[in-house]
Structure 1
Amino acid sequence: MASWNSNPLHVTYELLGWFAFISWSISFYPQVILNFRRKSVVGLNFDFVLLNLTKHSSYLIFNASLYFSSAIQKQYFDKYGYQEMIPVAANDVAFSIHAVLLTAITLFQIVIYERGSQKVSKISIGIVFVAWLTAAICFFIALSDHSWLWLLSIFNSIQVAMTIVKYIPQVIMNFLRKSTDGFSIGNILLDFSGGIANYGQMVVQSVDQDSWVNFYGNIGKVLLSLVSVFFDIIFIIQHYVLYPAKRSSKLVTTTDDEDQIREHLVRPSDVSPPENV
C-alpha cells in the first residue's frame, strides 16, 4: 500500500479535506435555520431535497464501504495497483453521515412546516425508485461472485447522477419565480467553498503520488466537486445578479408561471416575504 512521500503535502491534504468537511457540513444548517425561522418551506424545491437524500445515501454507502472494508480495498488494489492510495478519506465518511442526517431533517421540515401548494413531483419519485431498484438488482448480481467494488461503482454512479439532476428543479424554480426567497444562499456559498477544497485535496494527493489514478478511481468525488461548483455559480448569479432580494420582494408568481413550473417538476405557492440566511 502506498504511503505519503511529502509530509507537507500530507498535512495540506488533511487540512483541505477537513475544511471541505466543515464547509459542506455547515452548509446544511442555513436552510434548516431558515425553514425553522419562517416555519415555512415555500421557495425550497422538494425535488431538490428528495434527490439530495438519495445522492448522499448512495455516497455514504460508497465512502463507508471503501474506507472500512478490507475486502473491498483488496479488490481496489487488485484493479488499480498496490502502489495507489485509497481515494476515500475519513472526512469523506464523516461528511456523508452528517449529510444524510441533515438532509433527512430538512425533509422532515417539509412535512411539518407550511408548504403552500408545493409537492414532490412524480418524476422525482420515479427517478428515486429507479435508482434504488437498480441498486437492489445490482446487489444480487454482485452477491454471486462477491464483486463488491463493481457494486460500489454502481452506487457511485447513482450519486453522480443525483448530483447532476438534483440542482435542476431548484434552478428552474428560481428562474420561473424570478426570486431566490426561501432558498438559502448561505448553503450555496459554503457548498462552493467545500467543492473547491475537495477538488484541491485530490490534486494534492495526485501531486504527492505522481499519479492521477485517484481521479478516475473515484470519479464520483471528482464530479461531485465540479458539478456542485458549476451549479453553485448559477445559484450565486441568480441570487446576487438576476434576482436580488430587494427586487424579488416585489414580485408575485403568476398563474402562467405556476403552469410552467408544474411542467418542470415544481409546484410553487405564493411567494413569502424575503428572508435569506
Structure 2
Amino acid sequence: MASWNSGPLQVTYQVLGWSSFFCWSVAFYPQVILNLRRRSVVGLNFDFALFNLTKHSSYLIYNASMYFSSVIQKQYFEEYGYGEMIPVAVNDVAFSAHAVLIVVIILFQIVIYERGTQKISRLAIGIVSVVWLTAAVCFFIALPTHSWLWLVSLFNTIQVCMTAVKYLPQAIMNFKRKSTDGFSIGTIMLDFSGAILNYGQMVVQSIDQGSWASFYGNAGKMTLSLVCVFFDLIFICQRFVLYPAKKAFKSVASVKPEDEIEEHLCAVLR
C-alpha cells in the first residue's frame, strides 16, 4: 500500500476527513431535536427517511469491507495498482456506523410521534425491496468466484443511487406544501459543509499521490458529495428564497387596538 509523500498533506487529509465526519454526523441531530421539540414528524418525508436507512446501510457495508477486509484490499490493489492507497479512511467507517444508528432513531420517532396523514409510500417500499433483493442475488453471483471487490462496489453504487433518490420525495413534498416547516435547515447546512470538506479530502490525497485514483477508484464517494451539494442547494433555495418561514409574531406597530381587545377578552374567557 502506498504511503504519504508529504507530512503536512497527510495532516490536512486527516483534518478535512474528520471535519467532514463531524459535519455529516452532527447534521442528523437538528432533525432529531426538531422532532423531539415538536413531538411531531409532520413535514419530514417518510420515504426520505427509509431511503436514508438503505443508503447508509449500503455505505456502511462498503466502507467497513474496504477498510477491514485484507482480501478485498488485495483485490483492489490488483485492480488499481499496489502503489495506490485504499480510498476509504477510518472516518468514513465511523460516519457510516453513526449514520445508521441515527437514522434508526429518526424512524423510531416517526413511529411514536404525531405524523398526521403521512405514511411511507408503496413506491418507496417497492424500491427498497428491489434494492435489497438485487444485492442478495449479486451475493450469490459473487460467491463462486469470490468477486468481493465487485460485490462491495455494488453496495457503493447502491448508496450513490439511493443518495440521488432519497432527496426527491422531500423536495417534492416541500414544493407541494409550499413550506419547509418540519424539515430542519440546520441538517442541510451541515450536510453541505460535509460534502465540500469530503471533496477537499479527496483532492489532498490526489495531490500527494500524483494520481486521481482516489476519485475514479471510489466513484461512489465522489458522486455522493456531488449529489449532496446539488440537492442541498435546492433545499437552501426552498428554505430562504421560495418558501421562507413565516414570522411567528407580529411587530408591536402592526398590532391594531381591536386585536388587543380581542386577545384580552379571549384571555378573560380562558
Is the TM value for this pair above 0.5?
Answer: yes
Measured in 2, the distance between the counterparts of 1:120 and 1:247 equals 30
CA distance in 2, matches of 1:212, 1:168: 30
Paired residue for 2:241? 241
Distance of 1:121 and 1:247 partners within structure 2? 32
Could you say which residue in structure 1 is the equivalent of 2:111?
Answer: 111
1:7-46 CA distance string (max 9 Å, x none): 1110000000000000000000000000011000000000
TM-score (norm 2): 0.91
Letter paired with 2:94: A
What is the CA RMSD across the aligned residues, in angstroms?
A: 1.1
- SS of alignment partner, residue 73 of structure 2: helix
Shift of 1:145: 1.1
CA distance in structure 2 between the aligned counterparts of 1:104 and 1:136, rounded to whole angstroms? 22
Cα drift, residue 123 of structure 1: 0.5
Q: 1:100-127, CA deviations, whole angstroms, 9 ceiling, x for partnerless residues?
A: 0000100110001000000000111011
**TM-score, with normalisation over the residues of structure 1?**
0.89
Aligned to 2:139: 139
Corresponding residue number in structure 1 for 2:262 = none
5+ residue gaps, structure 1 = 250-277
**SS where residue 246 of structure 2 aligns?**
helix
Deviations 1:133-158 (A, max 9, x none): 01000011111111100001110111
Question: Residue in 2 aligned with 1:43?
Answer: 43
Residue correspondences, number:
249
Runs of 4 or more consecutive aligned structure 1 residues displaced over 2 Å after TM superposition = none
Matching residue of 1:156:
156
Q: 2:252 — aligned with what?
A: none
Cα distance in 2 for residues equivalent to 1:72 and 1:208: 24
Query: Aligned partner of 1:198: which letter?
Result: N
User: 1:214 offset after TM fit, Å?
Assistant: 1.2
Aligned match of 1:88: 88
- Give the Å deviation of 1:248: 10
Q: Distance between the aligned counterparts of 1:13 and 1:133, measured in 2?
A: 37
Q: Is the 8 A contact 1:181 1:248 kept in 2?
A: no
User: Which residue does 2:201 correspond to in 1?
Assistant: 201
Gaps in structure 2 of 5+ consecutive residues: 250-270
- Between the aligned residues of both structures, percent identity stands at 75
Contact 1:17 1:197 in 2 (8 A): yes
| Amino acid across the alignment from 1:113 | Y
1:179, 1:248 within 8 Å by CA — same for their partners in 2?
A: no
Partner Cα distance (2:248, 2:239) in 1: 10
2-structure distance, mates of 1:92, 1:230: 21
Alpha-carbon separation, structure 1, partners of 2:144 and 2:187: 42
Q: 1:53 to 1:248 in 2, by over 3 A?
A: farther
Which structure has the greater CA radius of gyration? 2
